[in-house]
């Protein structure tokens, strides 16, 4: 299933799903403009209103989640659902503590599990399909800076396909797709796509074998 199909299935609305956000004469917001390749100066008023507003919302919720009693799973799940703008599929759980800066741009399938200290810089949109597992301290980063003007940023989406396994302390950089059933070894830095049914390790990560 492609990303659009997955996200349609997880009950997104015309307001929050990228593929359905606008139609006809409707104007794109900052998130969609960046998803379509526009760079933004972080001092721009629209950027600050929309993006900083979302970051403030999510930072507060991540703090609340991290302070929850670990035995109170229902409370944690309720707060994670709020963090992800009402979308949390059956069997999916993100182990606190965690940091997701733009929860409205994260789309998770069923039975996704993330171990503790997950970090998502998700301004550019992150899609994770069914059955994916992420080890401790995984980082997913959709944002980059213009080298000649570091206050100008741009984004590229990250997509992790079904049943992939991401090892501890892996960093996945903007624009990367991890293939179905792929495995990424501990500590790897992923700068390019990893094909289906492959094992990749290293800095930068490279495929060492097929499964």
In whole angstroms, give the CA distance from residue 132 to residue 123.
21
Three-state DSSP state, 64: helix
| Helix extents (H) in the chain | 3-9, 30-35, 45-47, 53-67, 73-83
Instruction: Tell me if 142 sits within 8 A of 124, measured CB to CB.
Output: yes
* d(C-alpha 98, C-alpha 116), whole Å: 6
Sign of CA dihedral 191, 4, 117, 114: negative
CA distances from 119 to 15, 65, 98, 196 (A): 25, 14, 6, 24
116 is catalytic: no
Catalytic residues: 145
């Amino acid at each position: 299933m492609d990303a659009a199909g997955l996200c349609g299935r997880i009950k997104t609305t015309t307001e929050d799903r990228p593929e359905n956000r606008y139609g006809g004469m409707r104007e794109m917001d900052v998130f969609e403009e960046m998803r379509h390749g526009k760079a933004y100066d972080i001092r721009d008023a629209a950027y600050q209103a929309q993006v900083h507003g979302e970051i403030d919302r999510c930072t507060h919720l991540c703090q609340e989640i991290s302070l929850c009693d670990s035995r109170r799973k229902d409370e944690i799940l309720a707060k994670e659902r709020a963090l992800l703008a009402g979308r949390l599929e059956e069997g999916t759980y993100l182990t606190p503590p965690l940091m997701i800066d733009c929860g409205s741009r994260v789309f998770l399938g069923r039975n996704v599990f993330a171990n503790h200290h997950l970090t998502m810089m998700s301004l550019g949109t992150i899609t994770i399909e069914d059955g994916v597992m992420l080890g401790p301290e995984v980082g997913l980063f959709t944002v980059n800076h213009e080298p000649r003007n570091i206050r100008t940023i741009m984004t590229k989406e990250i997509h992790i396909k079904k049943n992939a396994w991401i090892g501890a302390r892996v960093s996945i950089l903007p624009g990367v797709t991890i293939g179905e059933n792929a495995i990424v070894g501990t500590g790897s830095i992923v700068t390019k796509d990893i094909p289906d049914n492959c094992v990749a390790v290293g800095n930068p990560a490279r495929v060492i074998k097929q499964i």
